[in-house]
Structure 1
Amino acid sequence: MTSQQAQNRRSSRMRAVWPVPVVALSLAAASLAGACTSHAAVEPHAPAPAARNAATTCVDETFGAMTVPQRVGQLFMGAVTPSRPDQQKIQLMRQYHVGSVFLAGRSSAGTQAIRTLVDGLQAKADTVAGRRVPLLVSTDQEGGRVQVLSGPGFSTMPSALVQGGWSTSYLRSQAATWAGQLRAAGVNLNLAPVADVVPAALGRNNAPIGFYDREFGHTAATVTPHSNAFAAGMAQSKVLATLKHFPGLGNVRGNTDTTANVVDSVTTSTSSSLDPFRSGIKAGAPFVMISSAIYSRIDPKRQAAFSSTVIQGLLRKNLGFKGVVVSDDLGQAVAVKAVPPARRALNFLSAGGDLVLTVDPNLIPTMAKAVQIRMAESPAFRSQVNGSVHRVLTAKQQEGLLSCG
């Protein structure tokens, strides 16, 4: 492939729902980020019980009206290329009730062109009980060499390494502006910020992050406040943010997009490199993306995306994350090529994941059918999947996408 195609593939695959409504998330994250500046922190306020109950009722109502195929469709995010939308793939995703899309590959068409595309996609979103259940529309808008959307209406974002040299108050302000541009384009979920800590000694020898200057800095003390500030800015403009790539890609050399058997032999369940994730989750992070590397000092037998030790144990139990766990690419990434597509989806969901991301939508029928079969065979798996669907729908409710009368 050409170098541009390779770069597009990398950008399309370089990619977590906060258990509180977006308003509370914005305040909580802003408070955390502001604590690192001279500005007074904003105290978060919990939503009133009536508001929480209304949201829960709407999620339950929507879930209850769904067919099994519609519920399964909420577990998938398929890629759409903005510059060349493939109508056959879009129709395939509609056929399988896919509830989220990922804008993959570079586009310099600007906000209005992306908004036209997204509006067309939203018009084809599933209808449940006479009401449309809108899509989560995501992209990789980190900055530097990983900025999928550009052109009129979009700022040129510097790399995260540059952003890490800014004050957290300025970064939060800039992130709010960038998120506003995403909202104008119809994008409601950003697969950013990168919370990975790349040691200075490894630097650009770290292929997935350091090579592209995708890290905010080389220590947890730098990455943590800047990752929080970026997420707070996203929340301020009502775009859901994603902490990635848990439990961190900062200590590896190989890129899971292009390399098999990528192993982190450094990170443990108590490493300081987990601090950005821990802090972001405490602030109310809505999404966490799981890495496809193997962490030999946490679970040497399974890739993180397929490890209940990583997802259920470390992320859910130890760090207390209650939001949506999204995979890194399970479609074309070389790291998962040895695992049959159906098994990739089943392994990820069984391990505790919620949202399967694939840049190859053609794999969704095989994956979705396998999930439906397993649900029919296993009450425990069915219960687990139902919990995942609830988390995805809760994210949509928090984003104001669900409407219940």
Structure 2
Amino acid sequence: MKKGLTFLFMCIMGSLLFASGNQEAEEKQAGEPVELSIAVMGNYLGNEMGALKAEFEVENPDLTIEAIHNVAANDWSDYFVKIRTLIAGGDSPDVMYVAIEGAQYLAAKNMAIPLDEYIANDPTFRDDYKDLHPKLQSAFELNGHVYGTVFGWNNVVTHFNLDMLEEVGLDVPSSDWDETEFLKYAKALTREVDGQKVFGFSIPDFYFVTSAWLYNYGASFLNEDMTASALDTPEALAAFQMLYDLVYKYKYAPQPTADTANPIAMFTNGQVAMVLLGRWPLPSWKEADMNFDIQYLPNFGAQKVIFGSGAWVVSSQSKHPEEAYKLAKFLSSEYAQKSALKLDAIPTRISVMDEMLPQYAPENTMLYRESADIASPVQAPEAYPEIAQIFSRYFSLLMADEIAVEDCVLGMHNEINNVLKK
């Protein structure tokens, strides 16, 4: 009897193993490569993705990029919510492009997998990994695990319209310029030109750029370990007071409205002379043939550079995680960065930064490269989407002059703490 049961059990297991192997064989029949999909925000890399797809499939003839999800989103917090909806609906991409703002969120929600297992079995990874700038890569190394390989990054610097500077007899300031010099520039550049008001400065009104503004006051939204709000400081209050005063006291900046809230459009149209942005507006500057240069933010009590990097991560719902790892690695490769990051984002590979940044304007372009060594990451804990929304809501009220600066900062402080306590 025991022999019969043993034989029956072996037959069943053999059938199951055969079926499993048969299924895998069917998925990888000769001439039928494994199909992978990618998710990006909006039309990111739209013009370059075709070339990247073609090269990847040449290097990996057993794999193909079958679909690209262009996720329409207002910002990164909106993007992450929509990615989560895709996954919940059973339409998960295999590989996702994720900004630093979503690294902890995706890891905590188990939406992305650690890549350690695949890295350990990849003999080429170690040498390849050395070229990724360690500070920029660190944002995707959480709790001892690597969740992604970085592709592009951005910081926040001051962009100057050089024609406007020349008109008022100013040069690009030195890297150590301070509040007094900043106000001097903002005042001189605010004037009437051909009957139209031209402003010296554009107010930063989204979380990443406002975080950079806070850093240069020696302030921040959150404490160092991102477990509580850090807005209850004189430095944070001073930072928001200055933003309010630039609009309502000095009148050096326009009130952010539907018509004035786009700093790229205002800078391009000659409506504002100084804006705080990273490298992402360079395609717009190039198209408009802008005469511009960049410098660090003013020292309002501290001088720091912020960074936000983006990486390719593998979805926890991918049916082909090993193959997805190969795709994620390719998309951060030297070839991919050289092909896709001529403008817009800054390459994360040290060799590619050194080679490519000098090829493009502005004159002070290597500021992007040197700032990588001293930059601090944007604060983006698991609750980032909610924190960004809190900031946006209160800052809109402040810029509409519907709330006092003290009430704005205190309100953000209390609500952020409530979110982080959950």
Common topology (TM > 0.5)? no
TM-score tier, shorter chain, comes to under 0.3
Q: Tell me: higher relative CO, structure 1 or 2? Use CA pairs within 8 A at least 6 residues apart.
A: 2
Q: Which has the higher strand share?
A: 2
TM normalised by structure 1 equals 0.26
TM normalised by structure 2 equals 0.25
Point out the structure with max Rg over C-alpha: 2
